[in-house]
Structure 1
Amino acid sequence: MGNVNNKRNWSFCMRWLLAILGILGVIAILTIPTFYYYLKFHNSFMLRNFLAKLSDDPAIWGTFGDYLGGTLNPIISFLAFIGLLYTIRQQAQEMKATRDELERTAEQQSRQSEIFNLQQFESTFFSLLEQYNKIVETLVKNVDEINKYNRTHNSIDSFINEIYEKYSEIYQSNVCNNQIKINFYIANNIQQNLELKRYFIVLFQILKLISLNLSNDTYGNTNNKISIEDYLSDDEKSREKIGNLYINPQEKIYSNILRSFIPNEILKLIALNCLSINSKTFNNFQGLLNRYNFLEHLQLGMEDTILPVKHHDDFIWLYLTTIGIDNITPSFGNNKLPTKMVELFNESKSRFISILNDQSNKLKRRIETLKGQPNMNTNKKVRDIESELEKTIKILETLQNM
């Protein structure tokens, strides 16, 4: 602003200076001939001593006037042209200064608009965050009821159920105790719980709000801006677009604030909610989790040595590794949990296959023994054992093909 004012003051002074010089020039042009005329025809002293040799012939004076006019006209025209160029230059500078001022005004208005939009966003964000915290409080109060294991539910995929039951049978684990806080009942029935469903809806809307309002590219690339149209479909393409676009640092600030409110137990539920063996998909939700590395702080109490599935952490990593987490791997960020899960699963799978082979051999030997003692009771036992053997072989084949 100081430079603009200085330029304006300098231009104002120059205009006044040129105006004064122009007026003085006009006065000189009018005064000098008049002065000479007076001296020639009315002042006897000057006439006698200095101007006696000047001609009295009007024709000569006319010729002299033409000469003087012919000489002064180009000079005056040139000076007028210079003045015109200067005026044009001054107008151009004024227009440039005006444009600069308008640009600064527009930029200031844009910043004010951004501040206003950010204030509106923060108002909505913290309002939703308040609702979110209330839901979390409700979930914490009802966590025992939500996570209670119920064997009468048959909603879990049969393959996972058989693996879990086989682990329990082989290691004689007490899988129905209160240590199971998150289990495979929630894995497929999480949407049936109204509080959990409400929780994930609010969480998704908060993350969506962040992406829609703060995804502006600081380098001006408008293609990186997430729009509402990106959420109209819920498929792999939308997941990839939402998860892989440029992330404005401001987005991370608010997503990290939200993530800091989430307990580790809820992070486990988020992971289970977004992955499913059946036809249910949450591609846009997965994209948002990937975008903000939302599971980066997820912790599972996995041991360095393979142990039987005794608690929910063991089940969760087994479940996630079994169904595959490729869709949400970016959501773990710098968390090494996915790599560790794969390593432990491969080791556990090898150990489990070995145990199932031993179990299968025992069942086969038992069948052969019972067949050597044919009677009605043994026939029923043989059928039961053969059924058990068939399940064991099926699990073995499935594991070996993974």
Structure 2
Amino acid sequence: MAYLNLEQRFESLTPALLFKWLAWILAFAIVIVGIVFIFYFSEFKDGFSSNRADWGTFGDFIGGTLNPLLSFLGLIALLLTIVLQSKELESTRKELMRSALAQEKTETVLNEQSKTQIKQQFEGTFFSLLDQHNKALEKISVSTEKWTAGRSDIDIVREAVFGKSVSSLAEAKNALEQKNGLCGHYFRVLFQILKFVATNVPDSHIGVNFNEGAIKGCGLVRNEKMYSNILRSFLGYDVTQLLAIYCYCAGPQDTYWNFKLLMERYAFLEHMPFEIEGENNKLLLSVVQFYDETAFGQSQFKSSFDSR
């Protein structure tokens, strides 16, 4: 119980309380010194001696009596000082820990705010581009001229690409490029949006290194596929079939190669039918040999892969 009381006193030790204790110790030491001198002179009343031996005896008496007591009091004062310093150091350590934790929480909050801001900026640009995409898509999907006989630009391009005179992907791509004035702008807009998603989506590792190695080597980051799926959802079957032809190219040196890689990265042909007017189209079936199977995702038209 006494130990607990002493520990509680140490716990409540403050600089003011320490000063009081030290003052009491000093006063007690002065009283002890006074008592020793009074006791000595009360016993030896002959006055000051001129004999060195008497002074030696006096010194031995005073030293032997006061040294242990004053040393003990000094030790207590030292222990009290050490206890107070330890408490202050512990308080400082706890305060530093609280400051570090507060700073860590602040950094976490700032990082989250920064991520949220980056995401908001990305989505603001993405949906603005998506709006431009939809306007471009609507423009080529709706007939606005009488001389087209009610056909849209997409209808005209499809007739040229999937006509009976076209027998290969190269010929189909050539026929599509001849109608580039009708749909080329739309496909360029589509490519730029996909490129924007790949390079600017939060946490993207592609960045400015927009090349084959980066497109193939960097995995999809969180929500990247979601944005591409949103864009893909606005494309009808007719546009998707033309897109499969549009991205056909000779090899990596071709300007359309990165567009083709984006088709594969985002499984952009996943919902593309391989039929036209209820019959399998040989051009659409042949694109299976050109694209990696990732371009078709979880396509329900798996039978087309048998032609590989």
Contact 1:274–1:285 (CA under 8 A) maintained in structure 2: yes
Superimposed CA distance per residue, residues 31-76 of structure 1 (whole angstroms, 9 cap, x where no aligned partner): 32455678x59xxxxxxxxxx9x44478545553332232233443
What percentage of residue pairs aligned between the two structures are identical?
25
**Other-structure match for 1:283:** 257
The answer as to 2:221 corresponding to 1:225 is: no
**1:333 positional shift:** 0.8
Higher mean Cα deviation, 138-147 or 98-107?
138-147
Question: What do residues 319-349 of structure 1 show as CA deviations (whole Å, max 9, x unaligned)?
Answer: 1433553534202111142x41243x58xxx
CA spacing shift, 1:268–1:56, aligned 2, 3 Å = farther
Give the gaps of 5 or more residues in structure 1. 1-13, 42-51, 165-182, 217-223, 303-310, 347-402
Q: Against the structure 1 CA distance between its residues 190 and 81, is the aligned structure 2 distance closer, same or farther, given a 3 Å change threshold?
A: farther
1:136 and 2:137 are equivalent in the alignment: yes
Indicate the residue corresponding to 1:76 in structure 2: 77
Aligned residues of 1:289 and 1:328 also touching (Cα < 8 A):
no
Aligned partner letter, 1:87: E
| 1:44-55 mapped onto 2 (5 Å cutoff) | 54-55=39-40
Amino acid at match of 1:332: F
- Contact preservation (8 Å) 1:215, 1:226: no
Tell me if the contact between 2:263 and 2:269 (Cα under 8 Å) persists in the aligned partners. yes
- 2:19 pairs, out of 4, 17, 23, with 23
Distance 1:16 1:205 in 2: 70
Please list the CA deviations of residues 66-101 of structure 1 after superposition, one character each: whole Å capped at 9, or x if unmatched.
322322334433443444344333333322322222
Paired letter, 1:205? Q
How far apart are 1:161 and its partner, in Å?
Answer: 4.6
- How many angstroms does 1:196 deviate by? 1.9
Give the distance between the partners of 1:185 and 1:248, measured in 2 at CA.
Answer: 37
Amino acid paired to 1:187 = K
Give the alignment's TM-score, normalised by structure 1.
Answer: 0.57
Which of 334, 339, 349 is the equivalent residue of 2:298? 334
Is the CA contact (8 Å cut-off) linking 2:29 and 2:73 kept in structure 1? no
Q: Tell me the amino acid that sits aligned with residue 228 of structure 1.
A: V
Amino acid at match of 2:228: S
Is it true that 1:314 corresponds to 2:280 in the alignment? Answer: yes
1:295 to 236, 258, 269: 269
CA offsets 1:93-149 (integer angstroms, 9 cap, x no match): 322322222222112111111111111111111110110010011011145444337
- Structure 2 residue 225 is the aligned partner of structure 1 residue 252: yes
1:249 is paired with a residue whose SS is: coil
Contact 2:274–2:284 (CA under 8 A) maintained in structure 1 = no
Q: Distance in 2 between matches of 1:340 and 1:185?
A: 25
Residues 119, 323 of structure 1: CA spacing in aligned structure 2 closer, same or farther, 3 A cutoff?
A: closer
Runs of 4+ aligned structure 1 residues displaced above 6 Å come to none
CA 1:146/1:336 → structure 2, altered by over 3 Å: closer, same or farther?
closer
Question: What's 1:171 paired with?
Answer: none
1:358 is matched with none
Whole-angstrom CA distance in 2 between matches of 1:93 and 1:342: 67
Pair 1:64–1:117, CA change in 2 (3 A): same
Shift of 1:214: 2.5
Residues 276 and 323 of structure 1 are in contact (CA less than 8 Å); yes or no, is this contact kept in structure 2? Answer: no
Amino acid at match of 2:66: G
SS in 2 for 1:275: coil
- Unpaired runs of at least 5, structure 2: 1-9, 43-57, 144-150
Contact 2:198/2:206, CA 8 A, preserved across alignment:
yes
- Map residues 5-154 of structure 1 onto 2, 5 A cutoff: 17-34=13-30, 54-56=39-41, 59=59, 60-61=61-62, 63-142=64-143, 144-148=152-156
8 Å Cα contact 1:290-1:330 kept in structure 2: yes
Query: 1:119 and 1:149 mapped to 2: Cα distance?
Result: 37
CA spacing shift, 1:149–1:97, aligned 2, 3 Å: closer
Matches within 5 A, 1:355-366: none
CA contact (8 A) 1:125 1:206 kept: yes
Letter in 2 for 1:319: L
C-alpha distance in 1, partners of 2:158/2:267? Answer: 32
1:212 aligns with: 199
